[in-house]
C-alpha cells in the first residue's frame, strides 16, 4: 500500500512541518514564560480566551508555510482560511489548551495537520514543555521522538484513565452522565484542557480514550490520525463535521471502544 509518506509532495511537507512546529513551539514558550503579563481577550464566552501569543504563533506558522508552499491552503483557529490550488491544505492550531496556557498551566501544545484528497495525511503535535513531538503519517505509523507509538491494547476500563473535555454550558448534563457512567464502570476521568494533547496521550497509551462533544478540525485532526496510526479507534472527523464544522470527537483503545462509546451517548 502506498503510504502518505511515499506520496509525491508529502515527504517535503512533513520535513517542513517538523521544522516549522519547532520554531512555533519556541516562540510560544517565550510567551508562556511571561503568561501573566499577556492581555487576554475573550471570544464566544468569558472562558473562551485568546492572547497575542495565539495570534503571533499562528502568523509565524502561516508565513513559513506560505513561503515554502505558496499554492497550499491554510486553515487556522485564529486567522481563518485561505484557499488552495495545490490539493493540500494545512490545518493549524497555534496553541491548543489556550486556557491552560493563560493560567500558567503546562498543558498546551502546537498542532499542525496536512489534509489532501479528503483525508488527513500527516499530523504533528508538539508539547513544548516536555519537548515531545508526536507525529503521524497516514499509513506510516505514529511516532514520538523516534519511538513507535501504540495504544494500550490490554487494559480494561476499570484499569485505565479516560480524558474528557467540554467547553459549553449545554454540555453539563451529558458530561455529568459520562462521568457517572465511567466511575460506575470503575474507570477514572481526567481533563487536561487540550484536546490535541489528550489524543496524543491516547496514541501513546497513557489514556485509554478521549471524548469531547464539540471541537473543530484544528483541535483534532492531527490527534485522530495519531490514534488511528497507533492502532486505536478514531472517528473520521472530515467525513462528519469536516474542515470548517464543529462536532464530537471520539477516540479509544480497541478493547474499550464499544463500552466507552456507549457511555458517551454518541
Ligand atoms: P483551544 O485551547 O485551542 O481553545 C478544551 O476543552 C478543548 O476545547 C481545547 O482543545 C480547546 O481548544 C477547545 N475549546 C475551547 N473553547 C472552545 C469553544 N468555545 N468551542 C469549541 N472548542 C473549544
Ligand atoms: Ca484548539
**pLDDT tens digit sequence for 48-60:** 888 899 999 999 9
Mutate which of 194, 241, 244 for ligand 1 pocket (most atoms within 8 A of beta carbon): 194
Closest ligand 1 atom, CA of 95?
3
CA dist., res. 25 & res. 47, Å (int): 24
Closest ligand 1 atom, CA of 165?
6
Does any ligand 1 atom lie closer than 6 A to the CB of residue 200? no
Minimal-distance CA residue to ligand 1 atom 18: 167
| Predicted local confidence at residue 157, as pLDDT | 98
Gap from CA of 251 to ligand 1 centroid (Å): 17
Gap from CA of 140 to ligand 1 centroid (Å): 29
Model confidence at 45, in pLDDT bands (50, 70, 90)?
confident
- Ligand in closest contact with the CA of 211: 1
Closest ligand 1 atom, CA of 97?
2
Q: Give the C-alpha distances (Å, rounded to integers) separating 111 from 85, 172, 261.
A: 23, 27, 25
Which residues of the chain form CATH 3.30.540.10? 10-148
CA dist., res. 166 & res. 196, Å (int): 13
Domain 10-148 CATH assignment equals 3.30.540.10? yes
Query: pTM of the predicted model, to two decimals?
Result: 0.96
- Which whole number is the average pLDDT over 80-105? 93
Residue 1 has pLDDT above 50, yes or no: no
CA dist., res. 94 & res. 57, Å (int): 6
Order of all β-strands in the sheet with 73-76: 80-82, 73-76, 88-96, 109-116, 119-127, 132-137, 141-144, 147-148
Which residues of the chain form CATH 3.40.190.80? 161-264
Gap from CA of 189 to ligand 2 centroid (Å): 20
Residue 4 has pLDDT above 80, yes or no: no
Q: Give the C-alpha distances (Å, rounded to integers) separating 92 from 112, 150, 162.
A: 5, 24, 25
Mutate which of 105, 195, 198 for ligand 1 pocket (most atoms within 8 A of beta carbon): 195
The matching CATH number, chosen from 3.40.190.80, 3.40.309.10, 3.30.465.10, 3.40.50.300, for 161-264 is 3.40.190.80
Minimal-distance CA residue to ligand 1 atom 4: 98
Q: Which three cell numbers stand for residue 181?
A: 457512567
8 Å CB contact between 77 and 61 = no
**DSSP type of residue 187:** -
| Predicted local confidence at residue 197, as pLDDT | 98
Does any ligand 1 atom lie closer than 6 A to the CB of residue 165? yes
Residue 108 has pLDDT above 70, yes or no: yes
Gap from CA of 2 to ligand 2 centroid (Å): 31
3-state SS of the chain: helix, strand, coil percent to 5? 40, 25, 35
What would the pLDDT profile of 145-162 be if each residue is shown by its tens digit? 999 999 999 999 999 999
Closest ligand 1 atom, CA of 99?
2
Does any ligand 1 atom lie closer than 6 A to the CB of residue 10? no
Which are the contacts of 3, defined by CB distance < 8 A and separation ≥ 6? Answer: 137, 138, 139, 140
**DSSP E strand boundaries for the chain:** 41-42, 49-50, 73-76, 80-82, 88-96, 109-116, 119-127, 132-137, 141-144, 147-148, 161-164, 188-190, 209-216, 233-234, 246-252
Model confidence at 47, in pLDDT bands (50, 70, 90)?
confident
Amino acid at each position: 500500500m502506498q503510504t502518505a509518506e511515499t506520496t509525491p509532495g508529502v515527504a517535503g511537507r512533513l520535513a517542513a512541518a517538523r521544522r516549522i512546529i519547532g520554531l512555533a513551539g519556541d516562540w510560544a514558550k517565550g510567551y508562556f514564560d511571561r503568561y501573566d503579563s499577556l492581555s487576554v481577550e475573550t471570544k464566544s464566552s468569558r472562558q473562551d480566551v485568546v492572547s497575542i501569543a495565539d495570534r503571533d504563533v499562528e502568523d509565524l506558522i502561516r508565513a513559513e508555510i506560505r513561503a515554502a508552499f505558496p499554492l497550499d491552503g491554510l486553515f487556522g483557529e485564529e486567522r481563518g482560511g485561505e484557499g488552495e490550488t495545490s490539493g493540500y491544505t494545512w490545518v493549524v492550531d497555534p496553541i491548543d489548551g489556550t486556557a491552560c496556557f493563560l493560567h500558567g498551566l503546562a498543558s498546551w501544545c502546537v498542532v499542525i495537520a496536512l489534509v489532501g484528497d479528503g483525508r488527513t495525511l500527516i499530523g504533528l503535535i508538539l508539547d513544548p514543555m516536555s519537548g515531545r513531538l508526536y507525529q503521524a503519517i497516514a499509513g506510516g505509523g505514529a511516532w514520538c521522538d523516534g519511538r513507535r507509538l501504540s495504544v494500550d491494547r490490554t487494559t480494561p476500563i476499570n484499569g485505565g484513565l479516560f480524558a474528557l473535555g467540554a467547553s459549553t454550558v449545554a454540555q453539563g448534563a451529558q458530561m455529568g452522565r459520562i462521568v457517572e457512567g465511567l466511575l460506575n464502570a470503575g474507570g477514572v476521568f481526567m481533563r487536561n484542557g487540550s484536546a490535541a494533547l489528550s489524543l496524543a496521550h491516547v496514541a501513546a497509551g497513557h489514556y485509554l480514550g478521549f471524548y469531547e462533544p464539540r471541537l473543530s478540525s484544528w483541535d483534532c485532526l492531527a490527534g485522530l490520525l495519531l490514534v488511528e496510526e497507533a492502532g486505536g479507534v478514531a472517528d473520521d472527523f472530515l467525513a462528519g463535521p469536516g474542515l470548517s464544522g464543529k462536532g464530537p470527537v471520539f477516540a479509544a483503545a480497541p478493547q474499550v471502544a464499544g463500552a466507552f462509546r456507549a457511555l458517551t451517548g454518541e
